[in-house]
Amino acid sequence: MEIDFKRGSIEHTPHGYARVQITEKSKGTKCLVKEGDSEILEIGAGKFADMNLRKFIILCRSIVSAAKANKSKKIALQFDRTSELFKNLQAVPPEHISQLAAENFEMANFEFNVFKTKPKEGWNIVEEIFLYGKSSPSIEKAVKKGQEIGRAVNACRTLSNTPGGDITPTSLAQAAKKAMKGLPVRVTTLHTKEMQKLGMGALLGVAKGSSEAPTFTILEYKGGKGAPVVLAGKGVTFDSGGLNLKPSNGIYEMHMDMSGAAAVIHAVALAARLKLKTSVIGLIPAVENMPGNNAYRPGDILKSLSGKTIEVLNTDAEGRLILADALTYAKRFKPSVVIDVATLTGAALSALGLHASALLTRDDNLAEKIAQDAETSGDYVWRLPLWDEYEEGVKGTFADLANAGNGSSARYGGAIEGGMFLWQFAKELECPWAHLDIAPRMTAAPQDELAKGAVGAPVRLLIRFIEQWKP
């Protein structure tokens, strides 16, 4: 999509552009008015006095979705900072508003159509937005940056949406390599033999049930001299549950169980593209969780890279196993902070519904930073506790640890138990660590004003975090 700045009055929009008019009608109202031969798209934003950043994000998306519904390929829009619409947003820097607008225009314009036949009239997308209103070089730069971010989010969505039959651990590693093309990012992929040599027994254990070989990909972007930010993303290319096979209503969409990996891949690529001054390492452990005849079994004991042994109580709690080895591997980069991103538990969905990822960390300072960046980026999170009281639930009976809650913790607080399990490995790191359980944000919520399928969380949060982080 092109976003062009225009001088003068929107009244003089050339023919062929639908003019967007934002009104105080109730949120979500969209209608088309014909005025002579020009078209006016009316979008309700609700009372301007109630405007805030969250509503502004949705408003930007609904502008694009209204245009699409109307098949308007070109629209003209006036964002006037002095208008009533922005009265409540005066404290927000205009650059940030502009960046957010561009990000969300791009996100709303996206549809996953890789597997669809192109219609004769072409895809239904907005091709151009004319932006009227006061502009400046810094505003134009912010819009360009917003577009880059929006595109990275959409690339992440494409990768997440790709069917399980089309993405294997090997092709996920290739996708990571492809995403770094032309960027100063070093890509290394470890294969089974190397992982055996290192002793990544937890990851290798999960991989056994699939005929697809596992991979472990390392992305290295050197943006500065300081200690790097390490991001680890769960890359389960399909989660059948393994021998603890998922029921029919739980297995659909499990090709998106590599959404954490997709987000880390595109956050690293974006950090390089935006030339951020912080070094970033991406770790992508990738497996397919299948019940093949060599599959790991409930009761099996795996030896992780850390040396800690893990009793498998449930083969469907596979994400924490592959991430355990990734967290131990992270140590060699002497990171300033480690964040893992995973569609880890259905319990996170039960706890938070569809609108926030779960944030788990033992570090209050880091929690505060991430929560703030989440709010400003629009990639919302909500914190859950990781208190000592929960630690009992991850202890093993015949091994050091168990991969699923035992005793009374087996039924409740599953998102916390998942985080507590990862903490057993993260505590060996000599830096702050946070876990983002993005299962709630794996697919779009109806209120999101986005296409069905993956939403690309938390690429926007990660990039904001990397920008703001002071090692």
Write out the catalytic residue numbers: 246, 320
Show contacts with ligand BES in window 230-249 (CB under 6 A).
239
Show contacts with ligand BES in window 344-383 (CB under 6 A).
344-347
Show contacts with ligand BES in window 253-282 (CB under 6 A).
257
Q: Cβ 75 to Zn ion, closest distance in Å?
A: 40
For residue 450, the partner it binds in ligand BES, Zn ion, Mn ion, none, with Cβ less than 5 to 8 A by kind, is: none
Task: Tell me the site size for ligand BES, rule CB under 6 A.
Answer: 16
How would you write the chain as a 3-class SS string? CEEEEECCCHHHCCCCCEEEEEECCCCCCEEEEEECCEEEEEEECCCHHHCCHHHHHHHHHHHHHHHHHCCCCEEEEECCCCCHHHHHHCCCCHHHHHHHHHHHHHHHHCCCCCCCCCCCCCCCCCCEEEEECCCCHHHHHHHHHHHHHHHHHHHHHHHHHCCCCCCCHHHHHHHHHHHCCCCCEEEEEECHHHHHHHCCHHHHHHHCCCCCCCEEEEEEECCCCCCCEEEEECEEEEECCCCCCCCHHHHCCHHHHHHHHHHHHHHHHHHHHCCCCCCEEEEEEEEEECCCCCCCCCCCEEECCCCCEEECCCCCCCHHHHHHHHHHHHHHHCCCEEEEEECCCHHHHHHHCCCCEEEEECCHHHHHHHHHHHHHHCCCEEECCCCHHHHHHHECCCCCEECCCCHHHHCCCHHHHHHHHHHHHHCCCCCCEEEEECHHHCECCHHHCCCCCECCCCHHHHHHHHHHCCC
442 near ligand BES, rule: CB under 6 A: yes
318 near ligand BES, rule: CB under 6 A: yes
Show contacts with ligand BES in window 326-345 (CB under 6 A).
343-345
Among 316, 373, 379, 449, binds ligand BES (CB under 6 A): 316
Shorter beta-carbon distance to ligand BES: residue 31 or 245: 245
Among 111, 316, 417, 449, binds Mn ion (CB under 5 A): 316
Shorter beta-carbon distance to Mn ion: residue 42 or 300: 300
404 near ligand BES, rule: CB under 6 A: yes
Name the residue with the smallest CB distance to Zn ion: 239
311 near ligand BES, rule: CB under 6 A: no
Shorter beta-carbon distance to Zn ion: residue 41 or 236: 236
Shorter beta-carbon distance to Mn ion: residue 94 or 209: 209
- Chain residues in the site for Zn ion (CB under 5 A): 236, 239, 257, 319
Shorter beta-carbon distance to ligand BES: residue 41 or 313: 313
Show contacts with ligand BES in window 413-432 (CB under 6 A).
414
Name the residues that contact Mn ion, by CB under 5 A.
239, 316
Residues at the contact surface with ligand BES, assessed by CB under 6 A: 239, 257, 314, 316-319, 343-347, 404, 414, 439, 442
